[in-house]
Amino acid sequence: MAGRRVVITGIGALTPLGKTAPDFWNGLISGKSGVRPIEHFDTSDLPTKFAGQIENYDSNDYFDRKEARRLDPVTQYAMITADEAIADSNVDLDSIDKDRVAVIVGTGIGGMNTFYEQSVSLHENGSRGVTPFFIPMLIPDIPAGHISIKHGFRGANYCAVSACATGSHNIGLAYDSIRYGQSEMAVCGGTEAPVWRIGVAGFSAMRALSRRNDEPERASRPFDKDRDGFVLGEGASMFFLESLDSALERNARIYGEIVGYGFSADAHHITAPDPDGNGVILALNGALKMAGITAKDIDHINMHGTSTPLGDIAETNSIKKVFGDHAYKINLNSTKSMTGHMLGAAGAAESLATVLAIYHSTIPPTINQENPDPECDLNYTPNKPVERDITYAMNNAFGFGGHNTTLIFKKFEK
């Protein structure tokens, strides 16, 4: 069943490159790094002392003080970007059927800072030290819940949690909700707020993070021979999706169309990628099949590209196996080189980068490519943006546990 066509009419972003979707895009095409030393907590005993951070973020710019205290940053980021996407869509909320608006928004970890602070308070002050808002602030579904409560959206409301594939999974599920008629419109995407002491300590203990403390802005360097791990990032990104009929009826601006996805599992290891790429290949081929296109139709791929020694090679090899000689004709990139790895928000932010690349006919660069890894020999759009007309583009997102997602977006044509 092909179902209805689904288009993107609103976008929102809060990232290390800026506090709005236009800021995010301008940062990408300028090759800006959003990675900087961490200053809001003590890093003296941590091996990694930097991250991709939202610069000068103040919750009081968006919420009153009482409300902000009851919202973990992971929910704050989601609500801010959902509001931007809804406003950007120019939809009249008073004239639509809110029973038919879904909110499908995920986070890979949830309220990490809330969990940490309340655990400390329990230890120091006993049970009376735990706020009654602890559980509602913590659980991964609560960002979607708050968005629906604020706007009165009564359609499908839930989150998929799949680590760093979360944002992409939620976009794919929202796409299904509309194309099969369960919903007419949807707010979807991912959010994450992991740049806290416990988050950096946890990923450091895994030896997953770069330790380039002397040059943090150059630490995220996907496909470069000198990469030494990923850079933790934070933020959120949201799409406002709707059926094509709905968008045309209200003469909405359309950024692009979603035409397919592939979901799969590595079934290999809790953190390491399958070196043979079997799961990723399933996702890539599944997305192509759903979209009804061939590998040669793809012009651009925004790769998962985490800047880890094993991951970049495994993803590159998977693309070679699926695309063959055409792999060398595609402009690939990793925008994590600029934002760091936003975990559960990564797939959503990078899907937005992919859609805007189509919309603006410009592919953002992979920065910090100075010493190419011989095993990573594709065109990763090094260091400078490239103008290119794009009809079909992919975004890849993979998560701990072996979760794989590939989304395919298309330039909109009636």
Domains plus CATH for the chain? 6-249 (3.40.47.10), 261-409 (3.40.47.10)
Q: Would you say 145 and 104 are in contact if contact means Cβ atoms under 8 Å apart? A: no
Is the confidence at residue 1, as pLDDT, over 60? no
Averaged over 379-402, what is the pLDDT? 98
List the catalytic residue out of 146, 169, 300, 304: 304
Tens digits of residue pLDDT in 351-362: 999 999 999 999
Q: What is the pLDDT of residues 70-98, one digit of tens each?
A: 999 999 999 999 999 999 999 999 999 99
326-312-191 Cα angle (round to 5): 105
Count CB atoms within 10 A of the CB of residue 206: 10
Side-by-side strand order, sheet with 256-265: 157-158, 101-106, 185-192, 235-243, 6-14, 256-265, 403-410, 392-399, 298-302, 331-333
Express each pLDDT in 312-326 by its tens digit: 999 999 999 999 999
pLDDT at 235: 98
Of 164, 169, 300, 403, the catalytic one is 164
Model pLDDT, residue 308: 96
Does the structure show a pLDDT above 90 at 2?
A: no
Tens digit of each residue's pLDDT (9 = 90 or more) over 268-297: 999 999 989 999 999 999 999 999 999 999
Say whether 164 is catalytic: yes
pTM (whole model) above 0.85: yes
Query: Crossing angle, helix 309-323 and helix 278-291, to 10 degrees?
Result: 40
d(CA 202, CA 266): 23
Catalytic-labelled residue, pool 146, 169, 300, 341: 341
360 is catalytic: no
Condensed to tens digits (0 to 9), the pLDDT of residues 12-70 reads 999 999 999 999 999 999 999 999 999 999 999 999 999 999 999 999 999 999 999 99
One-letter amino acid identity for 380?
Y
Q: What is the pLDDT of residue 388?
A: 98
Q: Give, in order, the Cα–Cα distances in Å from 110 to each of 73, 107, 199, 369.
A: 9, 6, 12, 32
The per-residue pLDDT for 334 is 98
How large a percentage of the chain has pLDDT more than 90? 99
Q: Say what the pLDDT of residue 414 is.
A: 87
399: left (phi over 0), alpha (psi -120 to 50) or beta: beta
What percentage of the chain carries pLDDT values higher than 70? 100
Once rounded to an integer, what is the mean pLDDT over residues 146-162? 98
Two structure tokens written together for 329: 């004709």
In angstroms, the CA 166 to CA 147 distance is 17
